[in-house]
Structure 1
């Protein structure tokens, strides 16, 4: 209330008295706040575990998919031909000769100070359909802008080209196809589409002073060159995606000698998938261990306090951990995953031995890859059951605790109102008491004064 009550008449420290009374009154609210803090800590820990189990679910689900371990790498015998292997690749080898690289068409007009009249341009592409373009003026800038904003698939650039006899600046328009490949070829005409059809339009790229700098061209590679089976494969770009299944080939230089492309199973990638599963498990287990551990602290007075982590005694978390262990370590067709380097340790964790896994993979890739996918399938089911955003065990626990925190928060707020009212009542009570005591003291002083006056009068008489 902002009014000091201390010692007005009673001499009492009423502010301190009210503070002590309010501390006692607030004890139930303090318990509620402590519960909110504890539950919030639990929610944070559960959310962390839920996130890591979701990561495990995603990792395992990907690894469990059919063909997920059909991982290959591709190599080329020259830097002028880059190769990459992706899903669907298989072991094999192929020799090719890079005969040509894909290129755009580039041509330039004759030197001019302005586009000839009429200003209409018609561009005919590979399809043979004329596209009529009308710039806003005969300005070369307007002509270039109109071409560049059209759907012709051609760009136009104004390039300085000296001056004419009268000292006027001259320019050429350079025309380039936006894409590579033979189908990007084009012809530029001065005139309308009707003029082109009638054969009266001027071919800008064959007019005096003009030139075709570069013709549109497909990239091409030759397979089995020099044999009866010789075959030429073309591509509008320098990339070929259909030479070998799942292999992308990108040429950057022509070759005279055959280039060797080799595709082989990439055991390092398969090992990385298996290791990724174990790493995801370990990440979840590290968090569980940290949130379960018992910690001991000593305060400044030397008092020792021992506290267990928020997951200690949590049956759901313990069950999730055990099911994850079982999914990773249970036998597969009578064989322990430890035979493939995925081992359960004495302290209840999962470890990965890359060397042992690699050796097992080299000895029997079919069995090892099938085992990894079986483990991945089991882990995906377990981790999803824990972390599914709608039905997951951890998700439901988090939702339940969040509801509890909200309810507790409402109760804390209600106590704020109750305590404020109680404090106001105490302040009014003590204020009234001080006023009453002040009045009584005043009355006492008045009575004392009157009695003193009576005594004096009697004595005088």
Structure 2
């Protein structure tokens, strides 16, 4: 609006200052909105940590987590892996052959790749006995120059994607067509015949061959073959790959205790991170900027983690556990004075080696199948009160995407934020209307002042125009 020409009043500054006073309730709402949004973000941060804890704990309630297998080889030329549940054992063998791909080359030669192919318009790929067809390629004159060239034949064999690669090989005295199977093994050996040429038009460059190993060297020795250099199922649940002939090696398959220890360690790490997330976001100490200061529900969740990881576990009565209960500390899991959980991997590994079932019962806990007979469904029950089972249930109650307490609180904050935002928007409209009203009022005031000034100026001019009388003239 600027400064009034008549009054000299700076209306812009005046309106701005008045609106700042009028906007104070909205500013309080904006501050409240920022706090609520910060709370929602903090709740989701804590929820993420509990979801991570739930995943780590849930994994340890599955039998497969306690039966990981590890395969090792005594030779660097033989690599091996084992799936969960693979049978333990050892296997010694010698690598006799490596798998190779079948390859043939034309007996005919060409001066240039643009020369006419001349070995038929249809190439058919068959088994070596020529009783079964693997596929065929109908050659066409793609550049319409009146002939199918060697180069066109090579390109069209490759484009057909029948499992063969073609190459025009420059021998120095001309070109020959070489065709090689993309897969190794005897079963992938092939012959090429055409509508004008027999298979003898191609010679074998290298015969397709299976990889072969020999187990033992006596009269009862065993031979195993594979179409590739990777053998699967020779030992149940184990896969190994050979890369050199003449090598003797021994494979050993056993439980991967390191993987189990690592999984338990990951669960404890996740528990500590969840506890820390609660601590960081509920800190009520002087100067704290935590969004959820003193939130009792969250503090209680952290306390429940500590309780779940410190309360005794029911175990079979034995000389080591005469009362039928075991402290988590017996497998290296212990609550410290500062409220965090420590994990002694060495102590756990010792129990795992000496009594794997007990280690699983204390640290894990198996989820059983419910009345519907199907695993991983809502009616599944916890058969064993293990640490992982406890934490899995707790984390689910907190972070379930529908009913989790943390999710519910975060969604509640979102709803509150939306309501506050609606109030802020209403205030924005109200303040604009108030500003418009003030502007109109001050405009009217300035107009009135201008009118009064004009009237005053007229009266002044009228008075100044009256005759002037003096005392001397009247005498």
Task: For 1:227 and 1:9, locate their aligned partners in 2 and report how far apart those are by CA, in whole Å.
Answer: 123
For the residue of structure 2 that corresponds to 1:82, the secondary structure is strand
Residues 1:244 and 2:220 are matched in the alignment: no
Contact 2:284 2:294 in 1 (8 A): no
Match of 1:41 in 2: 38
Contact 1:97/1:225 (<8 A) preserved: no
In the alignment, structure 1 residue 266 sits paired with structure 2 residue 262: no
Q: Map 1:160-309 onto structure 2 (within 5 A).
A: 160-163=170-173, 170-191=174-195, 201-203=197-199, 206-207=200-201, 210-228=202-220, 230-255=221-246, 258-294=248-284, 296=286, 306-307=287-288, 309=290
**2:404 alignment partner in structure 1:** 392
Counterpart of 2:312 in structure 1 is 331
Q: Within 2, Cα distance between the matches of 1:259 and 1:227?
A: 20
Query: Does the CA contact (< 8 Å) of 1:292 and 1:308 recur in 2?
Result: no
Query: How far has the Cα of 1:175 moved from its partner?
Result: 0.8
- Pair 227,381 (structure 1): closer, same or farther in 2 beyond 3 Å: farther
The equivalences for 1:312-327 within 5 A come to 312-327=293-308
Partner of 1:158: 168
**Aligned positions of 1:62-77 closer than 5 A:** 62-77=59-74
The answer for the alignment partner of 1:301 in structure 2 is none
Change (3 A) 1:457 1:315: same
Where 1:8 maps in the other structure, the secondary structure is: coil
- TM (normalized to structure 2)? 0.85
How far is the alpha carbon of 1:45 from its aligned partner?
0.8
Q: Greater CA deviation, 451-460 or 21-30? A: 451-460
Cα gap change, 1:457/1:449 in structure 2, threshold over 3 Å: closer, same or farther?
Answer: farther
What does 1:105-124 correspond to in 2, within 5 Å? 105-113=102-110, 114-116=116-118, 118-124=120-126
Per the alignment, residue 348 of structure 1 pairs with: 339
Aligned to 2:321: none
Q: Which moved more, 1:246-255 or 1:319-328?
A: 319-328
**Contact between 2:211 and 2:226, CA under 8 Å: does it hold in 1?**
yes
Contact 1:241–1:249 (8 Å) recurs in 2: yes
1:85-141 CA deviation, whole Å, 9 max, x = no partner? 221124321111222111111121124223225322111037942233211133112
Report the 3-state secondary structure (helix = DSSP H, G, I; strand = E; otherwise coil) of the residue aligned with 2:101.
Answer: coil
- Which segments of 5 or more consecutive residues in structure 2 lack a partner in the other structure? 111-115, 142-147, 315-324, 365-385
Gaps of 5+ in 1: 164-169, 193-200, 297-305
How many residues are paired up?
A: 429
Name the SS for the 1:243 alignment partner.
coil
Report the Cα offset of residue 268 of structure 1. 1.9
After superposition, the C-alpha distances for 1:289-326 in whole angstroms (9 at most, x for unaligned) are 11122354xxxxxxxxx446222232332232223223
| Residue in structure 2 matching 1:149, options 159, 170, 175 | 159
Aligned residue among 7, 10, 13 for 2:10: 13
Asked if the contact 1:111/1:161 (under 8 Å) is kept, the reply is no
| Structure 2 equivalent of residue 98 of structure 1 | 95
Query: Deviation per CA, 1:375-425, whole angstroms, max 9, x where unpaired?
Result: 222211211221122222111222221122122112211211110110111
Q: Deviations over 1:135-174 (max 9, x none)?
A: 11331122122222335322111111334xxxxxx31111
- Cα distance between partner residues in 2 of 1:100 and 1:116: 38
CA contact (8 A) 1:47 1:398 kept: yes
Question: Conserved in 2, the CA contact under 8 Å of 1:80 and 1:254?
Answer: no
Report the Cα offset of residue 242 of structure 1: 0.6
CA gap of 1:214–1:117, structure 2 versus 1, over 3 A, is closer
- Is the Cα contact below 8 Å between 2:326 and 2:362 reproduced in 1? no
Cα RMSD (Å): 2.2
1:396 and 1:157 mapped to 2: Cα distance? Answer: 65
In structure 2, distance between residues paired with 1:355 and 1:455: 120
Q: Would the alpha carbon gap of residues 81 and 104 (structure 1) be closer, same or farther in structure 2, given more than 3 Å must change?
A: same
CA gap 1:101/1:385 in 2 versus in 1, 3 angstroms: same
Change (3 A) 1:344 1:117: closer
**Alignment CA distance shift 1:221-1:118 (3 Å):** closer
Task: Tell me which stretches of 4 or more aligned residues in structure 1 moved more than 4 Å.
Answer: 457-461
Q: 1:37: Cα distance to partner?
A: 0.3
Q: Distance in 2 between matches of 1:224 and 1:432?
A: 111
Q: C-alpha separation between the residues in 2 aligned to 1:457 and 1:416?
A: 65
8 A contact 1:96–1:225 mirrored in 2: no
